[in-house]
Structure 1
Amino acid sequence: MTVETQPDVSVIIGAYEAMPYLVECLASVEAQTIDPARMEVIAVDDGSTDGTGEYLEEFAARVPMPVTVIRQDNSGGPSGPRNVGLDKAAGRYVFFLDADDRLGPEALERMVAMADRNGTDVVLGRVEGINRVPPKSMWGKSLDRTDVHSSNIKFTLSAQKLFRRALLDRHGMRFDESLWTGEDALFTMEAYLRADGVSVLADYTCYYLVGREDGKHVTKSGGYTLRFDSARALMRLIADMVPAGARRDSLMVRPFLITLLPQFGPKFLKDAEDVRRHKLELAKPLMDAYWTPEVARRLRVHERLRLHLVARQRADLLVDVVEFVKAKKQAAAVLERRGTRLYLVYPHFRSAAAGVPDHVYLAEPREARAFDGYREAAANSFLRRALRKVRRMLPSAGFGTAAA
Structure 2
Amino acid sequence: MSVVVPVFRPGPSFDDLIASLDRQTLDPTAFEVLLCDDGSGEPTGERLAAIARTRPNVRVLSLEHSGWPGMPRNHGIDAARGKYVQFVDQDDYLFDGALEKLCDYADANASDVVVGKEVGIGRPLPSRIFRHDIPRATLGTDPLLEMLTPHKMFRTAFLRANGIRFPEGRVRLEDHMFVMQAYFAASTISILASEPCYAWVKQPGSASSARIEPETYFPHLETVLDIVEAHTEPGRLRDRLLRHWFRGKILKRIAGRRMVKYPHEYRDRLLDVVVPLTQRRFGPGVDAGLGVANRIRAALLRADRRDDLVRLAEFETGLECRATVTAAHWSRGGGLHLTLRITITYDGKDALVFEMSRSDAPTPGARNVGGSDALGSIAGRGSAAATSSGAKKITRLTSLPLSSLEGLPANLLVVDRELRNDRVDLILRDGPGTERVLSGRRPRDLSAVAVSIDPVRSFERTDDSRGGPLSVKVRRAGWTFDVPLEAAPAVLARVGRSPILAGRTCTLAVSEGGAVELHREWPGGGFKDAAGRAVRRIRRAVQRH
TM-score where L is the length of structure 1: 0.83
Residue 343 (structure 1) aligns with: 396
**1:154 is the counterpart of 2:162:** no
**1:243 is the counterpart of 2:233:** yes
SS across alignment from 2:124: coil
C-alpha contact 1:125 1:161 (8 A) present in aligned 2: yes
Q: Using a 3 Å threshold, how does the CA distance of structure 1 residues 345 and 122 change in structure 2: closer, same or farther?
A: farther
The higher radius of gyration belongs to 2
Deviations, residues 308-352 of structure 1 (Å, cap 9, x unaligned): 212221111100111222334453333445841333346346x54
C-alpha contact 2:37 2:61 (8 A) present in aligned 1: yes
Letter in 1 for 2:224: L
Q: How does 1:182-201 map to 2 (within 5 A)?
A: 182-201=173-192
SS across alignment from 2:129: coil
RMSD of equivalent CA atoms: 2.4
Q: How does 1:235-384 map to 2 (within 5 A)?
A: 235-265=225-255, 266-329=257-320, 330=344, 331-337=352-358, 339-340=383-384, 341-345=394-398, 347-348=400-401, 352=404, 355-363=407-415, 365=417, 368-370=420-422
Residue 175 (structure 1) aligns with: 166
**1:91 is the counterpart of 2:144:** no
Q: How does 1:195-234 map to 2 (within 5 A)?
A: 195-213=186-204, 215-217=205-207, 220=210, 223-234=213-224
SS across alignment from 2:422: coil
Q: Using a 3 Å threshold, how does the CA distance of structure 1 residues 285 and 236 change in structure 2: closer, same or farther?
A: farther
Q: Using a 3 Å threshold, how does the CA distance of structure 1 residues 167 and 364 change in structure 2: closer, same or farther?
A: farther
1:160 Cα deviation from its structure 2 partner: 0.4
- Give distance in 2, aligned partners of 1:367 and 1:112: 44
Residue 23 (structure 1) aligns with: 15
C-alpha contact 1:45 1:70 (8 A) present in aligned 2: yes
- Give distance in 1, aligned partners of 2:207 and 2:274: 25
SS across alignment from 1:242: coil
1:298 Cα deviation from its structure 2 partner: 1.1
Letter in 2 for 1:324: F
1:87 Cα deviation from its structure 2 partner: 1.7
The structure with the largest helix share of the pair is: 1
Residue 13 (structure 1) aligns with: 5
Residue 513 (structure 2) aligns with: none
Q: Using a 3 Å threshold, how does the CA distance of structure 1 residues 316 and 95 change in structure 2: closer, same or farther?
A: same
Q: Using a 3 Å threshold, how does the CA distance of structure 1 residues 336 and 138 change in structure 2: closer, same or farther?
A: farther
Residue 392 (structure 1) aligns with: none
C-alpha contact 1:300 1:367 (8 A) present in aligned 2: no
SS across alignment from 2:154: strand
- Give distance in 2, aligned partners of 1:217 and 1:306: 27
Q: Using a 3 Å threshold, how does the CA distance of structure 1 residues 367 and 57 change in structure 2: closer, same or farther?
A: farther
- Give distance in 1, aligned partners of 2:43 and 2:399: 53
Q: How does 1:56-205 map to 2 (within 5 A)?
A: 56-64=48-56, 66-205=57-196
1:207 Cα deviation from its structure 2 partner: 0.6
Q: Which region of structure 1 is more displaced relative to structure 2, 272-281 or 15-24? A: 272-281
- Give distance in 1, aligned partners of 2:238 and 2:399: 29
SS across alignment from 1:19: coil
Q: Using a 3 Å threshold, how does the CA distance of structure 1 residues 366 and 127 change in structure 2: closer, same or farther?
A: farther
- Give distance in 2, aligned partners of 1:226 and 1:76: 16
The structure with the largest strand share of the pair is: 2
- For residue 33 of structure 1, the aligned residue among 10, 25, 35 is 25
1:286 Cα deviation from its structure 2 partner: 2.8
1:219 Cα deviation from its structure 2 partner: 6.1
| Number of equivalenced pairs | 363
1:267 Cα deviation from its structure 2 partner: 3.5
Residue 499 (structure 2) aligns with: none
C-alpha contact 1:344 1:362 (8 A) present in aligned 2: yes
SS across alignment from 1:278: helix
Structure 2: 5+ residue stretches without partners: 321-343, 345-351, 359-381, 385-393, 424-442, 446-545
1:192 Cα deviation from its structure 2 partner: 0.9
1:175 Cα deviation from its structure 2 partner: 0.7
1:285 Cα deviation from its structure 2 partner: 4.0
- Give distance in 2, aligned partners of 1:327 and 1:348: 12
Q: Using a 3 Å threshold, how does the CA distance of structure 1 residues 45 and 332 change in structure 2: closer, same or farther?
A: farther
C-alpha contact 2:214 2:273 (8 A) present in aligned 1: no
- Give distance in 2, aligned partners of 1:119 and 1:151: 18
Deviations, residues 97-116 of structure 1 (Å, cap 9, x unaligned): 00001111111111111111
Which ranges of 4 or more aligned residues in structure 1 deviate by more than 6 Å? none
1:366 Cα deviation from its structure 2 partner: 5.2
- Give distance in 2, aligned partners of 1:328 and 1:227: 31
- Percent of aligned pairs with the same residue? 30
Q: Which region of structure 1 is more displaced relative to structure 2, 329-338 or 114-123? A: 329-338
Q: Using a 3 Å threshold, how does the CA distance of structure 1 residues 328 and 71 change in structure 2: closer, same or farther?
A: farther
Letter in 2 for 1:290: R
- Give distance in 2, aligned partners of 1:348 and 1:93: 54
C-alpha contact 2:121 2:202 (8 A) present in aligned 1: yes
